[in-house]
Amino acid sequence: MAPKLIRWGILATGGIAETFTRDLLVDPTTRNVHEIKHTVVAAASSSSTSRAQEFLKSVNAPSSAVAYGSYEELVKNQDVDIVYVATPHSHHYQNVMLCLDAGKNVLCEKAFTVNAAQARKLIETAREKNLFLMEAVWTRYFPLSIYAREAITSGRLGTVTRVYSDNSSAQDPEKQWPDGKHRMINPDLAGGALLDMGIYSLTWVFQTLYTTQPPHSRKAPRVVSSVKKYLPTGVDEMTTMLLTFPRDADLGGDIHAIATTSFRTTNNVDGTGTAGPAVRIQGTEGELQVWPPIYRPTRTRLILKDGTTEDKSWPQPGPGAGSGWHNGFGGGNNAEGEGHGMFWEADEAALALVEGRKEGRFESLDESLVIMEVMDEVRRQNGLDYPEKIETTDRIPL
């Protein structure tokens, strides 16, 4: 059967929009996907039409793709099947609502929203309108993540009892973002380590301890946490969470997880990912280790009590060197011949449209909501507030 063409609209033209769109335009057959193809039919910038034109050119979009100088115009385009929302966290709620109101399916960047109330409202709206909605936690869709989850569901690790998970960076925020306006540390853009990077620490905890359970037996964790604030702006620069996932005693009892995130202190200190694993999933029969960066890991080690050691590397098929980050965190970190890995989440969204599914398979909307609730609780315990205009569920212009 001929592949179904899915027509994307790109909302915002910043760093990740560029990385994602380049990956989107990589031929899916290079990763053995034959059911769908992707194209970009439009992009919008809130600053100007010329910025959107420049963006389309930079990602080698088809010449027929339309450039808009406002998000409102983009969502009215009848040719767009699905919108990829790539604005800062602060704007996701308003931008996704704009799309849903216009009847568009949506793939929205992480963190899904600023708080759980906003996520709940988006989910209700998508369900009422029978539209597809997915949080773009790309890591969940990597073959490496599928392997990790299968190491648990197949019983290879035995009964899983504990998970450590860290996503941190070795930066100097005062030097890197001296004016305090960058989205990473700006409270008006819902900055801070938790929402931007801690979401990946939680992703590994949840995709191993929660997603692997049958839906009816998934239970939200209890949380105890500590936050160190970044004094110049008041967002969090280091957050540590201890999560207890309740499990019946006859199934092994409670599971503990430690999820950490920091701007300054990391176990990927030289950025090469060789200092040691940043995720350790520990069971009665062995341990699965995932090397950093855990948002885009390419290396795992499985060590079993029976003496087995399974080392694996996970290449990212794609267009070639230089297709890496465009977000100010360093140049393309892809090896020759690699993509960046964002195409797998795009494939999932496209396949869902073809199959009539309204959610992604590897992170349900209910799970995105539970994770937002965990982050709300961490913020509540530590007095981490954002301005009301970005916490609200009212429809307001930002």
Ligand X SMILES: NC(=O)C1=CN([C@@H]2O[C@H](COP(=O)(O)OP(=O)(O)OC[C@H]3O[C@@H](n4cnc5c(N)ncnc54)[C@H](OP(=O)(O)O)[C@@H]3O)[C@@H](O)[C@H]2O)C=CC1
Ligand Y SMILES: O=C1OC[C@@H](O)[C@H](O)[C@H]1O
User: Binding residue for ligand X (CB under 6 A) from 21, 46, 239, 262?
Assistant: 46
Instruction: Find which of ligand X, ligand Y, none residue 89 binds, CB within 5 to 8 Å per kind.
Output: ligand X
Q: Least distance in Å: CB of 377 to ligand X? A: 20
* Spatial distance between the Cα atoms of 109 and 94, rounded to a whole number of angstroms: 13
CB of 126 to ligand X, least distance (A): 18
Among 26, 33, 41, 45, binds ligand X (CB under 6 A): 45
CA 316 from chain centre, in angstroms, equals: 17
Q: Which residue has the tokens 């808009």?
A: 68
CA-based end-to-end distance of the chain: 45
| Rounded least distance, CB 353 to ligand X, Å | 20
Distance CA 345, CA 316 (A): 13
SS (H, E, C) the chain: CCCEEEEEEEECCCHHHHHHHHHHCCCHHHHCCCCEEEEEEEEECCCCHHHHHHHHHHCCCCCCCEEECCHHHHHHCCCCCEEEECCCHHHHHHHHHHHHHCCCEEEEECCCCCCHHHHHHHHHHHHHHCCCEEEECHHHHCHHHHHHHHHHHCCCCCCEEEEEEECCCCCCHHHHCCCCCCCCCCHHHCCCHHHHHHHHHHHHHHHHHCCCCCHHHCCCCEEEEEEEECCCCCCEEEEEEEEEECCCHHHCCCEEEEEEEECCCCCCCCCCCCCCCCEEEEECCEEEEECCCCCCCCEEEEEECCCCEEEEECCCECCCCCCCCCCCCCCCCCCCCECCCCHHHHHHHHHHHHHCCCCCCCCCHHHHHHHHHHHHHHHHHHCCCCCHHHHCCCCCCC
Binds ligand X (CB under 6 A): choice among 21, 53, 87, 105 = 87
In the numeric block, the tokens 């989910």 are attached to: 123
Side chain identity at residue 201, one-letter code? S
Stretch binding ligand X (CB under 6 A), from 39-47, 75-83, 316-324, 377-385: 39-47
180 part of the interface to ligand X, by CB under 6 A: no
The site partner of 14 among ligand Y, ligand X, none (C-beta below 5 to 8 Å per kind) is ligand X
Least Å distance between CB 199 and ligand Y? 8
Select from 44-52, 201-209, 271-279, 373-381 the region that touches ligand X (CB under 6 A): 44-52
CB of 4 to ligand X, least distance (A): 25
Binding mask 184-203 for ligand X (x = CB under 6 A): -----x------x-------
User: Residue 356: CB partners within 8 Å, gap ≥ 6?
Assistant: none
Which partner from the list ligand Y, ligand X, none does 340 bind, CB cut-off 5 to 8 Å by kind?
none
- Alpha-carbon distances of 245 from 176, 249, 295, 367, 374, rounded to whole Å: 37, 12, 22, 14, 12
Please choose which of ligand Y, ligand X, none residue 183 contacts, taking the beta carbon within 5 to 8 angstroms, the exact cut-off set by kind: ligand X
Q: Under the criterion CB under 6 A, does residue 365 sit at the interface with ligand X?
A: no
CB of 355 to ligand X, least distance (A): 24
Q: How far is CA 50 from CA 43, 75, 281, in A?
A: 11, 18, 48
- The interface partner of residue 88, options being ligand Y, ligand X, none and the CB cut-off 5 to 8 Å by kind, is ligand X
Please report, as ranges, the residues that interact with ligand Y according to CB under 6 A.
Answer: 196-197, 295, 329
Which of 5, 30, 34, 47 contacts ligand X by CB under 6 A?
Answer: 47
Instruction: Out of 14, 180, 232, 332, point to the residue binding ligand X (CB under 6 A).
Output: 14
**Which of ligand Y, ligand X, none binds 158 (CB below 5-8 Å, type-dependent)?**
none
Of residues 197 and 370, the one with the C-beta less far from ligand Y: 197
Give which of ligand X, ligand Y, none residue 367 binds (C-beta under 5 to 8 Å, depending on kind): none
Nearer to ligand Y, 132 or 295 (CB): 295
**Range 205-234, binding ligand X (CB under 6 A):** none
Binds ligand X by CB under 6 A, chosen from 7, 8, 9, 13: 13
Residue 197 interacts with, from ligand Y, ligand X, none (CB under 5-8 Å by kind): ligand Y
- Please tell me whether residue 368 binds ligand X under the rule CB under 6 A: no
Binding mask 277-296 for ligand X (x = CB under 6 A): ------------------x-
Q: Which is nearer to ligand X, 17 or 241 (CB)?
A: 17
Q: Which residues bind ligand X (CB under 6 A)?
A: 12-17, 45-47, 51, 86-89, 91, 109-110, 138, 183, 189, 196, 295, 327
